[in-house]
Amino acid sequence: MINKYPLVFLCCLFYQIQFIGSQTREVILLDKDWKFKKGKSLEAHKTSFDTSSWETVSVPHDWAIYGPFNKDIDKQVVAIEQNGEQIATEKTGRTGALPYIGEAWYRKNFQIPEFDTNKRVLIVFEGAMSEPEIFVNGKKVGEWKYGYSYFYFDITNYINASEENLLAVKLTNMGLSSRWYPGAGLFRKVQLIVTQKTSFKQWNTFITTPLITDSLAQINIKSEVIGKPLRLETEIYNAENNLIVSNSSDVLFGDKFEENLGVKNPKLWSPESPYLYTAKLKLYDDKGLVDEITQRFGIRRISYQPNKGFSLNGKIRKFKGVCLHHDLGPLGVAVNKAALKRQLRILKDMGCDAIRSAHNMPSIEQLELCDEMGFMFIAESFDEWAKPKVKNGYNRFFNDYAEKDVVNLVGATRNHPCIVMWSAGNEVPDQWGAEGVKRAKWLQDIFHREDPTRPVTVGMDQVEATMASGFGALLDIPGLNYRVHLYEEAYKRFPQGFILGSETASTVSSRGIYKFPVERASMKTYDDYQSSSYDLEHCSWSNLPDDDFVLQDDKPWVIGEFVWTGFDYLGEPTPYDEVWPSRSSYFGINDLAGLPKDRYYLYRSRWNTNDNTLHILPHWNWEGREGETTPVFVYTNYNSAELFLNGKSLGVQRKNSASPQNRYRLMWMDVNYEPGTLKVVAFDDGGNPAAEKEIRTSGKPHKISLKPDRMVINADGKDLAFITVSVEDKNGIPCPTATNQLEFRVNGAGTFRAVCNGDATSLEPFHLPTMKLFSGKLVVVIQSSDKAGDITLEVKGDDLKEGILRLKASKVKQNM
């Protein structure tokens, strides 16, 4: 339990900055010129194997995202126990209906400059989907099992000195191995790390801050080393790159150095001020400098206290968090830092301050961005333990690999200040019975052994079972997935003195789609396979956002929530997982293209306390509904507002406690539709007009509008620009129901990368330069080349004035 450990948890960030050509350490990123082929290729690990017909790709890479969508790929006849199903039914689209199943091979030639017997070479993988087998120069180095796991091998003895070397990777994705789209391939970066024989051990430096005051922070650094070093020197720099303190240690405790340095007047890391320092660690032996690593770190303290909850740097606060799956919509699961940063910018504007990686280990790039941009983080490990949810899931490997996977997760990421707790699992069937309790304790003990500074949680959906068995009582942080009706009882029964909403809401909606009559519904389905964006529809096991808002606002012992989900993701198309076509989720606050749904503004009105929110729904294009009741909702941080239709007042609404919805939304339920202008005027607490917003009925689609997220991107061959494409009438009014088929052409120093419209039923491939608008919008993704210059995007559609946008790719590094 959490009270067994210090109430203040202290941690800093450690991650390696890449060096190319360093005298002491060389990090070689293996990203370009891989040879790839899907399918069985016997003896493809051999050096003499012919790959002339293989595709040339860059890594990170997801080979399954290119489709085509096919319901037979992942058709399953199952009863989803965590959804409360008792009878097996046919499910389609559960893993995205994309062809991720099967074997694939990657091959890459590389050289180790000036390799000699005094050097050590590691091959490091941060994710390989899945069951990777690694070969170097025709010989098997080793294998791993979990596709999301970080792992590495020492390949020193496999290297050919002064010759070209061959790396081959075999991946195997089995059917019935996932509950969502897992992707396929080397979807995270691959690196070679070349050091001297005496060096820092991989993922074995731990930085903590045992003492923090206003005037001084104690920085404790434990570094495990290999070989026979004599001395460790450390320099710490502030964010302005000024040296502020240094230290030297020549005392080894076994194979570890331990240093304590003092940072005067420390600036603390928080979501509001994500301040990061830099440390340079230099390792010496009797011949001089042998290894050097540069790291950034943050200083912050966390505390979880009974009946008070969570505090950061001494201030009580509640998590305003979302859960995120690992796919990046039309880009698949291949990690791209620009795409990740775009997601976080969108969430930051909403007021979100925390992320839960669901239900897998996060990428290093995501953690780095959360450190820099200011997001707290729950780093999750597994969706399964020993008992299966799917036949070929992680349950096959749990007994042999769980400890190794946790050790690597914690070792690789424990120094990121954004991480404020670990999650050992999500809705595992092991919640029932004594064996599950033992497994929960075993895993939690491993996390504590590897990192005694942070608590551990598990996302529990079988709350009554965990109350009876003791499962929930032993956890540091009892995490409840939904089950809002059990919060009070769980708080009384569990000894920790607080409850975390580890997964909340699961409200479903389709961007820009509205259904009538407007009423709360569970598992509601329609002939078009969409869900209403009035935000009143949810799943059989879940609830509406407002139900969680009440708990967050009224119960001090509820320490925050993580909404399912921040963005739509591929797979799990509830409530349409038994019909076709439907191949992605409806849960997102933002759609699969990253476009905000109406629900985005509901959360923004509560979470973003720096900016005002005033948002009207639905759209006002309802030809054929003239005179029919068309309710109007307003999401705003203001407590009251007046609605006008074509200049006529429809009355003032005030937030009240009549229902959770009345408490957080302004609703005019009896509006009769007539085309024209719908305007809302919001009032401050003194009754004075403070803001206004209007929407208008549009005419026929006339011209294409293009809005980029950035005008200048990096000419590095990896950076991305996201362009929102919409259609307007001749007066510039957006056309919210437009479904025109558009075509895209990119010229210059960039290429067309992908397109997505956010429609969960669309079967159009993401990588082809054509797609229909959905609810009047879509997003085009452009990727830079490695040359600077202009990039031109042309968008055309029948009977529409084309849209043209000019961007720049620059060799001067841009802030993504």
Q: Which residues are catalytic?
A: 427, 503
Beginning with the edge strand found earlier in the chain, give each strand of the sheet holding 139-143 in spatial order: 55-57, 34-38, 102-110, 165-173, 133-136, 139-143
Cβ atoms of 172 and 134 closer than 8 Å = no
Cβ atoms of 158 and 417 closer than 8 Å = no
Give the helix/strand (H/E) hosting 34. Answer: strand 34-38
| Residue 778 to residue 321: CA distance in whole angstroms | 26
| Residue 298 to residue 42: CA distance in whole angstroms | 48
Judged on CB neighbours under 10 Å (0-12, 13-18, 19+), 653 is buried
Cβ atoms of 44 and 105 closer than 8 Å = yes
Cβ atoms of 150 and 361 closer than 8 Å = yes
| Residue 682 to residue 412: CA distance in whole angstroms | 49
Question: Can you state the angle between helices 364-373 and 337-350, rounded to 10 degrees?
Answer: 40
Handedness of CA 794, 581, 357, 511 (dihedral sign): positive
Handedness of CA 669, 673, 674, 679 (dihedral sign): positive
| Residue 592 to residue 170: CA distance in whole angstroms | 30
Judged on CB neighbours under 10 Å (0-12, 13-18, 19+), 610 is exposed
β-partners of residue 77 are 90
DSSP at 330: G
Which residues are CB-contacts of 748 (< 8 A; sequence separation ≥ 6)?
Answer: 789, 790, 791, 792, 809
Cβ atoms of 387 and 441 closer than 8 Å = no
Q: How many other C-beta atoms lie within 10 A of the C-beta of residue 262?
A: 15
Using DSSP bridges, classify how beta strands 741-748 and 712-714 pair: parallel, antiparallel or unpaired.
unpaired
Which residues are CB-contacts of 532 (< 8 A; sequence separation ≥ 6)?
Answer: 509, 510, 513, 514, 515, 518, 524
Among the listed residues 457, 388, 404, the one whose alpha carbon sits nearest the alpha carbon of residue 178: 388
Handedness of CA 256, 260, 261, 267 (dihedral sign): positive
Give the helix/strand (H/E) hosting 543. Answer: none
Give the helix/strand (H/E) hosting 405. Answer: helix 398-413
What letter represents residue 526's amino acid? Y
| Residue 205 to residue 454: CA distance in whole angstroms | 16
Beginning with the edge strand found earlier in the chain, give each strand of the sheet holding 231-237 in spatial order: 243-249, 231-237, 277-285, 288-297
DSSP 139-153: EEEEE---TT--EEE
Tell me how far CA of residue 59 lies from CA of 34, 105, 334, 696, in angstroms: 7, 13, 8, 46
Judged on CB neighbours under 10 Å (0-12, 13-18, 19+), 693 is middle
